[in-house]
Structure 1
Amino acid sequence: MKLVKISTIIFVLGLSSCLSWAFAKSTFNDMPAGEYKVDLSHASIVWKVSHLGLSNYVARFTEFDAAINYDASDISKSQVTASINPMSIQTAYPNAAEKDFNNILATEKDWFNAKTFANIKFASTSVDMITEKTAVMKGNLTFLGVTKVISLDVVLNGAMTKQPFTGKPTLGFSASTNIVRSEFGMGKYIPSIGDNVEVLIEGEFAYSDK
């Protein structure tokens, strides 16, 4: 029994060592320069807005695309582009059979008006590195036909020159921003429904060898 236990312990320690090596992170400067595309299976865009001052209503978009033109020698020179399909809005409205709230938000003119404005687009214009792992990114957000500069707080979570499941160089980020929806022409039900919308973004970006 003792020999079995000892061999088991040795096996577990060996496996742990192998896994630690396999999941080892790299520095962002070690990563190859070039285009990285978002991995939708490990990405999300979630937004929150005040509902009557009682709670924050939470929803998300499920269809979007994003890419980073990554400059490893100077991260501040990297560029980000993104596009969101507003028809992909997903809420937790409980009675979808009686009222398709997702479709109402997506298509009605007072809301996302997706039949007229089929995409929400973002293109970065600057990246200001605050620390080695945090940055402020500014860029142009085009929403409901209106383009305005917004600012995102970005956290550089980590990087791997070889992500163990895909084998590709991969970058990971979190970002957040606040948008004043009335500035883009969406003013319905303010102030009962908040004017300020908090947007939370998570994403892994895999190197694209084209």
Structure 2
Amino acid sequence: MKFIKISVAVVVITLAGCVSWVFAKSPFNNMPEGEYTLDLSHASVIWKVSHLGLTNYVARFADFDASIDYKPNNIEASRVVATINPMSIQTAYPNADEKDFDQILATDEDWFNAPKFASIDFASTSIEMTGEKTALMQGDLRFLGVSKPVTLDVIFNGAMERQPFSGKPTMGFSATTTIKRSDWGMSKFVPNIGDEVKVMIEGEFAKTQ
């Protein structure tokens, strides 16, 4: 009986701790100013494109990085930069490792042409707050040697002045954008493989100590 009581007490304490974490979120303008770097263990860059109008083919990049120069007193003056390794494509293509599909897609001159263009780069140029936790972020996307403006719809998911696991000030965001790959010179198989590519981004950013 004593063991049961102790076990119940432990569960209650644990749940109380979890609840306190949930309610430990902070307003974004209370977060400290400075550089925030991406927590790669809690981030993703996923994209999808139409295949013959029948399905959306989904893939992701596994190697990428990003940072935020954060200005809490003027969030719209903050700046975001990001880079993606095009060779890090991951697909659900059957036996992808055996057929080298990922590398063919990345290295083919009609696709990502990674030997010549080793990174996909983004730098924000403006941030417009559209709500308490939403924004439109404009920026330049450099891809296949071409730089063009893109707009991302950003959702501010939450912020913690002290994230319980890392102990660091941390902010979390979701973002989406849709681009036409042909605008950057990737027109192979359009329109059978869709021109429009939807990109979905998730990320937690921790304050650099």
> Which TM bucket (shorter chain)?
over 0.9
Shift of 1:10: 4.9
Deviations 1:56-107 (A, max 9, x none): 0000100111000000111111100001010111111112354211001100
Matching residue of 2:166: 166
What is the SS of the residue equivalent to 2:32? coil
Letter matched to residue 12 of structure 1: V
| 1:68 corresponds to | 68
User: Which residue pairs with 1:117 in the alignment?
Assistant: 117
1:80 aligns with 2:91: no
Matched with 1:14 is 13
Query: Could you report, residue by residue, the CA deviation over 1:28-62 in whole angstroms, capped at 9, with x for unpaired residues?
Result: 11110100000100000000000000000000100
What are the ranges of 5 or more consecutive residues in structure 2 without an aligned counterpart?
Answer: none
The residue identity in structure 1 corresponding to 2:25 is K
- The answer for the alignment partner of 1:190 in structure 2 is 190
- Pair 118,97 (structure 1): closer, same or farther in 2 beyond 3 Å: closer
Aligned residues: 208
The SS at the match of 2:96 is: coil
Write the mapping of 1:20-59 to structure 2, written as runs, cut at 5 A: 20-23=19-22, 24-59=24-59
For structure 1, the residue ranges without an aligned partner over 5 or more in a row are none
- CA distance in structure 2 between the partners assigned to 1:48 and 1:8 by the alignment: 47
User: What is the letter of the counterpart of residue 136 of structure 1?
Assistant: L
Question: TM-score, with normalisation over the residues of structure 2?
Answer: 0.94
Counterpart residue identity of residue 16, structure 2: S
Q: Distance in 1 between matches of 2:4 and 2:95?
A: 55
Q: Call closer, same or farther: CA 1:89–1:9 in 2, change over 3 Å.
A: same
Aligned residue for 1:199, secondary structure, equals: strand
1:73 partner SS: coil
| 3-state DSSP of counterpart to 2:188 | coil
- Identity over aligned residues, as a percent? 60
Counterparts of 1:132 and 1:52 in 2: how far apart (Å)?
A: 39
CA RMSD of aligned residues (A): 1.5
Question: How far apart, in 2, do the equivalents of 1:115 and 1:130 lie?
Answer: 39
